[in-house]
Amino acid sequence: MISNLALYNVDMSLKCGIVGLPNVGKSTLFNALT
């Protein structure tokens, strides 16, 4: 239960946290993590 909650929190932070200028590798980073 606790581990599932931790994974959920990490997943939500990734959805909300990958922001920045264009062409700086955000898509590459996201694809590598998923």
Q: What confidence score (pLDDT) does residue 31 get?
A: 77
Cα dihedral sign, 28-4-8-10: negative
DSSP letters, 1-34, are: -HHHHHHHHHHHHHHHH---STTSSHHHHHHHH-
pLDDT tens-digit readout, 9-27: 555 554 555 556 676 776 7
Tokens linked to 8: 């959920």
Cβ–Cβ under 8 Å, residues 26 and 34: no
pLDDT of residue 19: 58
The neighbour count for residue 25, using CB atoms within 10 Å, is 10
pTM, rounded to two decimals: 0.30
Give the model's pLDDT for residue 25. 72
* 5 pLDDT tier (thresholds 50, 70, 90): very low
pLDDT at residue number 11: 54
